[in-house]
């Protein structure tokens, strides 16, 4: 069920991503510094601009203005919850539009302007109503004990309590995959949400993450014995994606389902990943992307695997937070399949 990549080619100026980052961010930072004398940290402004541009670039690459709009919506909430100036975000996006208008042909500019305007539109809408309160995931309320208890244990750094909650679920007959996806996963989403809302610090979130990671390794029961040679699957987070916990759950679920899993973890360099897959010749490769800019690398990995392995290319399955958010985009990245979580993936 392989789909072709069906994206409109990028305007020439965007093909050299780093050139774009340098020139656009330097120009916009200079305009901002001139109009806002209180803005004294130019280096920080440039770093922020590069972040905006990475998301803009990825949204253009997948031809999905809404993807950039979602980023702006998220960024606005992060800034607002920290009492930071939201207007400067709007001003920055407007300046980026001005920059591209003066440098691109009308046709190319129209495409970039539409994407930037999707971001401006989000800011206009939330200026009227205030940012909506968003909770991405629910649906685990039926669990006993309440997942709130796990969230609190994680945030207090109480490993013993966190573990006893998980053990109680397993003892109550809930399968390890279910515990991972219906209890630990939403707890982590909630922790991300609280960081976004500035209710917990980066240190709190890191503590919760490290305890979750050790909970997940304890969940892995001995793999079932299978007769014959097990099917092999390689799992990797694409380069620059550090969000490996979700993929670890997927990899463990495959192992429990009788596959032989090779979990390569976070931020796997594209060359090494392609080399590993070429040597191992697995039946399936599972790739994970969490944020919009990771899709640029995901597409590159898929293109390389297909180009170098041809008809011997394994089935390519993709997943992760950003693909869950963007719906059908995975089809146009050239993957063979997508699953929203480890429960769905392990039924393959
Ligand atoms: C833990 C965490 C981290 C940890 C990750 C540690 C690790 N070893 O994984 C660390 C500290 C490294 C981290 C870093 C950052 N993070 Co972070 N992080 C999170 C957090 C809180 C939880 C992620 C997680 O584990 N979720 C639980 C797992 C189980 O869910 P999952 O990843 O969705 O995986 C499931 C499915 O998606 C699917 N799936 C996943 N992969 C695959 C693959 C295949 C093949 C298939 C079939 C399915 C599949 O199955 C999984 C299991 O069911 C999220 C919040 C969130 N909403 O996810 C933020 C979050 C993703 N992070 C965020 C940010 C901003 C960052 C940083 C930029 C922060 C910073 N300023 O440094 C960096 C970027 C790092 C990078 N370059 O990747 C934002 C992203 C927002 C955005 N608009 O892009 C989020 C959403 C937080 C927030 N609410 O603002 N982060």
* pLDDT tens for the chain, residues 1 to 348: 444 555 666 666 666 666 677 888 989 999 988 887 676 677 888 889 999 999 999 999 899 999 999 999 999 999 989 887 667 899 999 999 999 998 887 778 888 999 999 999 999 887 655 444 444 344 455 555 567 889 999 999 999 999 999 998 888 888 899 999 989 998 999 999 999 999 999 999 999 999 999 999 888 766 666 778 899 999 999 999 999 999 999 999 999 999 999 999 999 999 999 999 999 999 999 999 999 999 999 999 999 999 999 999 999 999 999 999 998 999 999 999 999 999 999 888
Helix-helix angle 65-81:185-196, to 10 degrees: 70
Between the CA of 282 and the centroid of ligand 1 the distance, in Å, is 26
Taking the CA of residue 339 as reference, the ligand 1 atom at the shortest distance is 47
Q: In 3D, which of 222, 298, 287 has the Cα closest to residue 61?
A: 298
Would you state the pLDDT for residue 93? 96
User: Parallel, antiparallel, or unpaired for β 284-288 and 232-238?
Assistant: parallel
Q: In the prediction, which pLDDT does 136 show? A: 37
d(CA 305, CA 274) in angstroms, rounded, equals 6
Atom 91 of ligand 1, nearest CA residue:
243
Atom of ligand 1 nearest to the CA of 193: 89
Q: Is the peptide bond before 329 cis (omega within 30 degrees of 0)?
A: no
pLDDT given at position 200? 97
- Are 302 and 285 in contact by the 8 Å Cβ rule? The answer is no
Query: Which pLDDT does position 16 carry in this prediction?
Result: 64
Pocket lined around ligand 1, Cβ cut-off 6 Å:
71, 74, 181, 185, 188-189, 191-193, 195-196, 205-206, 209, 240-247, 249-250, 266, 286-288, 290-291, 317-321, 324, 339, 341-342, 345
pLDDT in the model for residue 1: 43
Tokens of 115: 């994407």
User: How far, in Å, CA of 336 to CA of 287, rounded?
Assistant: 11
The full set of domains in the chain, from first to last, is 12-129 (1.10.490), 147-219 (1.10.1240.10), 232-345 (3.40.50.280)
Residues 334 and 165: their CA atoms lie apart, in Å, by 40
Query: Residue 263 has what pLDDT?
Result: 97
Q: How many CB atoms lie within 10 A of CB 147?
A: 20
- Measured from the CA of 240, which atom of ligand 1 is nearest? 77
Q: What is the pLDDT of residue 74?
A: 94
Give the contacts of 191 (CB within 8 A, at least 6 positions apart). 151, 154, 155, 200, 204, 205, 208, 209
Whose Cα sits closest to atom 46 in ligand 1?
Answer: 319
Global pTM reads: 0.92
User: 290 alpha carbon to ligand 1 midpoint, in Å?
Assistant: 5
**What φ, ψ does residue 235 adopt, rounded to 5°?**
-120, 130
CA of 310 to the centre of ligand 1 (A): 31
Which residue from 184, 201, 284, 321 has its CB within 8 A of the most atoms of ligand 1, so it is best to mutate?
321
Pocket test for ligand 1, best of 138, 166, 238, 290 (most atoms within 8 A of CB): 290
Q: Which atom, in ligand 1's list, is nearest to the CA of 249?
A: 52
CA 91 to centroid of ligand 1, rounded, Å: 29
Decide if 230 contacts 258 (C-beta within 8 A). yes
């Amino acid at each position: 069920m392989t789909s072709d990549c069906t994206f409109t080619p990028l305007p020439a100026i965007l093909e050299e991503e780093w050139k774009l980052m340098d020139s656009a961010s330097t120009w916009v930072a200079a305009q901002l510094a001139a109009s806002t004398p209180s803005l004294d940290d130019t280096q920080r402004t440039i770093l922020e601009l590069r972040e905006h541009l990475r998301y803009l670039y990825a949204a253009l690459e997948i031809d999905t203005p809404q993807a950039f709009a979602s980023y702006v919506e998220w960024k606005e909430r992060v800034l607002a919850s920290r009492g930071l100036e939201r207007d400067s975000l709007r001003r920055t996006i407007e300046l980026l539009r001005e920059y591209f208008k003066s440098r691109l042909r009308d046709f190319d500019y129209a495409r970039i302007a539409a994407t930037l305007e999707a971001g401006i539109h989000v800011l206009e809408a939330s200026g009227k109503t205030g940012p909506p309160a968003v909770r991405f995931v629910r649906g685990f309320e039926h669990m006993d004990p309440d997942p709130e208890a796990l969230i609190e244990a994680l945030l207090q750094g109480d490993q013993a309590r966190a573990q006893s909650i998980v053990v109680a679920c397993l003892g109550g007959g809930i399968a390890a995959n279910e515990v991972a996806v219906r209890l630990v996963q939403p707890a982590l989403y909630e922790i991300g949400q609280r960081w976004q809302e500035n209710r917990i610090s980066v240190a709190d979130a890191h503590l919760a993450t490290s305890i979750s990671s050790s909970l997940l390794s304890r969940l892995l029961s001995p793999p079932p014995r299978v007769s014959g040679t097990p099917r092999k699957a390689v799992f990797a987070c694409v380069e620059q994606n550090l969000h490996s916990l979700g993929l670890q759950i997927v990899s463990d679920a495959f192992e429990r389902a009788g596959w032989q899993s090779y979990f390569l973890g976070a931020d796997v360099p594209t060359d090494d990943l392609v080399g590993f897959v070429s040597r191992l010749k697995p039946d399936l490769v599972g790739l994970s992307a969490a944020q919009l800019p990771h899709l640029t690398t995901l597409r590159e990995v898929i293109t390389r695997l297909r180009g170098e392995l041809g008809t011997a290319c394994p089935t390519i399955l993709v997943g992760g937070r950003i693909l869950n958010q963007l719906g059908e985009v995975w089809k146009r990245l050239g993957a063979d399949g997508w699953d929203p979580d480890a429960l769905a993936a392990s039924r393959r």
